[in-house]
Amino acid sequence: MRVGFKVLQERFGIELVQPLRVESEIGPTRTRVESPTGVQNRYPPSYAPRDDFSGHFEFALKYEEIHLEFLSRLFVASGPAPLEEWCRREPSGQYARRAGFLYEWLTGARLDVPDLTKGNYVPVLTPQGYLTRTTPILDRRWRVGDNLPGTPEFCPIVRRTSALQDALRFDPTLALADLDRRFGEEILLGSSGWLTLKESRASFRIEHEEDRSDRVARFASVIAEHCGKIEDPLCEASLKILQEGVLGANAPGLGIRRSPVFVGQATLREDVVHYVGPRFEDVTGMLAGLREAERSTRGAEPVLRAGVLSFGFVYIHPMRDGNGRIHRILINDTLVRDRCIPDAVILPVSASITHSVRLRADYERILEVFSRPFLRRFGARCRFGEMTTAPDGTRTNFHFDAYDEAGPAWRHPDLTEHAIYVARLIEHTILTQMAEEAKILSSFRIASERMKEVIEVPNAQANRIIRSLKENDWMITGKLRKECVWLEDEAIRVRLVEAVRSAFETE
């Protein structure tokens, strides 16, 4: 006998973008089978609920997961009657109160039941099970603590799974302190400018755009100047500053978009859609919900917040162009803002994505965690037809016919897997990308010191010599001989090569 939210989904014919992960049934023994796609739970007969709306809903609140897209669609299908009957029958019951609050919060409609006047406050979400507000809002009508991290217009859900908890055990602050001890603070801070440039170049590469030096340098300066320093990173003015750094101040259509948008690729025959952004009229409200999530979760885990805010932003897709690069900037911005990493340090997360085959594949996979089921549900509602001009001047022939139906999915994404990915990405970036960069810079400094024990040359020339030797397998090229006539002396050549080579062959 099946029980819980799956029963209500079937009875009300609810079609979802993000499937319910938990399936519960009544059987002879209690068992739990967890897989990458979901959880199958079996409970003994003593757990069997009443076979009606409130019975299955209460069972799900006790033993299953909160799924805001499902609840949003369920309440539209069920209407207020079953909630009102339940709340009148059990006015002080904590599950009826939570269900009543969720109905009003998600639908904006008021149930025809009286306010509660007494009783302890119960949380909407269990903090042990979900990312929640650090300070709940006390709702006197239902006597619940509203700890949902966002707003009805946009509220991501993050489940504190064992995989997430394991990923969050990595502490970026301690890892960077260890790099300081190994290589010295001077090396780590000295690498910041290069790492910022590297991050900029890699971010353009992810977007499959030509990384012209002028655009890369401009983007790098924006990262260095604004990460962690803008008071409200998700407001329209701040996003426009970041977008100008990506696209240039003269790019058309800067600011919050007023046009339809999709992510895809062009072929010789047609455009292929990979993701559709929300209706532009809804973007401002959704972005306000994401800003509320940023504000309400301050004091929570920085790495978790970085995953939620960055991927929440990319799914809202509020700008006409530049969303992907701003999304990756937000990872660093959150970490600096939360004092998880020093102000002067930029983690080259984009470089990690481009240089690691696994992380690049995982990045594409994570983006598809939401976009792939979204297109399975609504892909047939995308079409290319009449060319129109949007309010922001964008000329487009893209049309999407299911904005209202898709709304609950956009408003309430489950970002658990995304948070896990960002945690792993940050770990790899510090332990691999930054550690290797620090080692190279340390070896470079030692090589310069040892070379000057052989012969004194200007720093710029010393740097060119070191690079040339390292790139040419410790051989002196004809070009280098022409630049440095003193290399005709064989004794100097031998000592010079050995001095530089030894610096890179020992840590």
The residues near 164 (Cβ < 8 Å, ≥ 6 apart) are: 158, 304, 416, 419, 420, 423
Q: Are the C-beta atoms of residues 410 and 278 closer than 8 Å to each other?
A: yes
Q: Counting every residue, how long is the chain?
A: 507
The better pLDDT of the pair 194, 88 is held by: 88
Would you state the pLDDT for residue 266? Answer: 67
* Residue 196 backbone dihedrals phi, psi, to 5 degrees: -65, -45
Average of per-residue pLDDT values in the chain? 92
Residue 95 has pLDDT above 80, yes or no: yes
Its pTM stands at 0.91
The domain locations on the chain are 2-118+137-146, 162-434, 455-505
The CA distance from 495 to 174, in Å, is 40
Q: Are the C-beta atoms of residues 289 and 411 closer than 8 Å to each other?
A: yes
Q: What's the pLDDT tens digit per position in 238-255?
A: 999 999 888 888 888 899
* Residue 441 backbone dihedrals phi, psi, to 5 degrees: -65, -40
**CA distances to 54, 89, 115, 144 from 119, in Å:** 21, 16, 11, 9
b/e map 291-300, b = 16+ CB within 10 Å: bbbbebbeeb
CATH for 162-434? 1.10.3290.10
Q: What's the pLDDT tens digit per position in 58-81?
A: 999 999 999 999 999 999 999 999
The better pLDDT of the pair 366, 343 is held by: 366
Q: Are the C-beta atoms of residues 98 and 124 closer than 8 Å to each other?
A: yes
Strand blocks (E) in 74-131: 122-123
The CA distance from 91 to 200, in Å, is 56
Q: What's the pLDDT tens digit per position in 278-316?
A: 999 999 999 999 999 999 999 889 999 999 999 999 999
Q: What's the pLDDT tens digit per position in 391-432?
A: 999 999 999 999 999 999 999 999 999 999 999 999 999 999
Would you state the pLDDT for residue 190? Answer: 65
- Tell me the residue type at 493: R
Would you state the pLDDT for residue 237? Answer: 93
Would you state the pLDDT for residue 269? Answer: 67
The CA distance from 6 to 340, in Å, is 40
Q: Are the C-beta atoms of residues 488 and 439 closer than 8 Å to each other?
A: no
* Residue 81 backbone dihedrals phi, psi, to 5 degrees: -55, -50
Coil, strand or helix: which one is 260? coil
